[in-house]
Structure 1
Amino acid sequence: MELQLACCFHPDKRNKVIFGAIRKHLGEVLHELARQKECQIDEGHLMRDHVHMCISIPPKDSISWGKVRFRSMARHFMGRAKNFTSKSFWGSGYFFATVRLDEDMVRAYICNQGKVD
């Protein structure tokens, strides 16, 4: 039984920078890093100004480990923690919560992000 987490994080100042080639590359990077860390992205949606994911982490890892791991993976997007203006790419805010009985509701919420925003 794996532990499932719902998470959301965003670029600095919630700038709308996740689109085009950056969006495609970020999706590939997150899936590859999840595979390397024995995690799985069950559901995910990349919006222009934030990222929503439902991830599964091995039962040997704690919730805080999952939070730290995915935040650090996101920070190393494109191999650097800074964007082209030498400012931080990712903002300091984030949301992480365990997914229990309401997994279907969380997945539906993530899938419908493009329709809601």
Structure 2
Amino acid sequence: MFIKTRTNVYRTTYHLVWVTKYRKPIFIDEASRQAMKSILREIAERNDITIFEMEVVADHIHMVVSFPPHNSISSVMKALKGPSAREWFKQFPATKELLWGGALWSGSYFASTVGDVSQAIVLEYVQNQLTDYNSGRPRRDSSPG
């Protein structure tokens, strides 16, 4: 999908993942997951970030997004993580007590470009996080050695 602006047309798609501080399971029910999705949608809209797919798992976030090429990945991550934590703590102040030091997110993140051929696979992967992928954590291999 091409995105058109007054000055350019682009198709840059990224798979972004970030985790809660200490991988604490914060988004443990549907209401909390929906609240975080709503927060992230509002932030994305304010920052010209197009969300193709998003899943909030107990201890991390997956997003498939596009944003104008003049924005860096680090600036987009800063725009998503900082404001989402502030808004989350406004809505759910008791959550701070679960996190040492009061930070919602770990300082790191994962970002990968998504090509035309593999985008469908990444979208399906994100859509099925809660049902097919053990809440986003790798399944343990029970085979010997």
Question: TM-score range with shorter-chain normalisation?
Answer: 0.7 to 0.9
Residues in 2 aligned to 1:32 and 1:88: alpha-carbon distance in whole angstroms = 21
Structure 1 length-normalised TM: 0.83
State whether residues 67 and 96 of structure 1, in contact with CA within 8 Å, keep that contact through their aligned partners in structure 2.
Answer: no
AA aligned opposite 1:67: M
Q: Structure 1 pair 6/28, CA: closer, same or farther in 2 (3 Å)?
A: same
**More strand per residue: 1 or 2?**
1
Q: Identity rate of aligned residues, in percent?
A: 23
Quote the residue 1:97 is aligned against: 112
Aligned to 1:44: 54
3-state SS of 1:45 partner? strand
For 1:84, give the aligned amino acid: K
CA RMSD in angstroms comes to 2.1
| Counterpart residue number, 2:17 | 8
Task: Give CA-to-partner distance per residue, 1:74-98, whole Å, 9 cap, x none.
Answer: 3333256x84325211122321112
Aligned AA (2:74): S
- Distance in 1 (CA, whole Å) between partners of 2:25 and 2:11 is 33
Structure number, greater radius of gyration: 2
The aligned counterpart of 2:7 is none
Q: Which residue number in structure 1 is paired with residue 133 of structure 2? A: 116
The structure showing larger relative contact order (alpha-carbon pairs under 8 Å, at least 6 residues apart) is 1
| Equivalent-residue separation in structure 1 for 2:54 and 2:81 (angstroms) | 15
Q: How does 1:65-84 map to 2 (within 5 A)?
A: 65-78=75-88, 83-84=95-96
Paired amino acid for 2:15: A
Deviation at 1:26, TM superposition (A): 0.8
SS, match of residue 90 in structure 1: coil
* Aligned residues of 1:26 and 1:77 also touching (Cα < 8 A): no
SS of the residue 1:58 aligns to: coil
> Alpha-carbon deviation of 1:64?
3.1
Q: CA deviation at 1:112?
A: 1.6
Task: Return the letter of the residue paired with 1:92.
Answer: G
Q: Which runs of 5+ in 1 are unaligned?
A: none
